[in-house]
Amino acid sequence: MARNPFLDWLGPERFVRGEGRAELEVAVREEFLQAKGTVHGGILASLLDTAMGSAAGSLGVRVVTADLNVSYLRPAVGHRLYVKARVVHQGDRLYFVEGSVLDHSGSEVARGKGIFFRVG
């Protein structure tokens, strides 16, 4: 996998991918928080985009995000986030992927769907 400076900044403590799946775990840092002390929605979207793109890329292709939909289910609080993603359909050029973000207690805080376009 090519170096990904954004992934480096997110700083996952655990990152695994393979066979159309990806999982990552991050410690919540102060710069992830919005004014009310919960994790900013942009961080949740970025985590989903990263995990879902990695799941598609684990199938041996380079992809870029063509479409991303995020549903925020509840405020993300706590010290740790877990992200899981899996490819649900693989076409010739498009990969359809689903993902979810769980908080430290295992509650789902966000759910995403993405379409990724094969570029290589």
pLDDT in tens, 1-19: 567 899 899 999 999 999 9
pLDDT tens digits, one per residue of 7-65: 899 999 999 999 999 999 999 999 999 999 999 999 999 999 999 999 999 999 999 99
What is the count of structural domains for the chain?
A: 1
Q: Name the residue range of residue 75's domain.
A: 5-118
- Residues composing the chain: 120
Backbone φ and ψ for 39, nearest 5 degrees, come out as: -65, 130
Instruction: Tell me the CATH number at 49.
Output: 3.10.129.10
pTM: 0.95
The answer to whether 98 and 104 have CB atoms below 8 angstroms apart is no
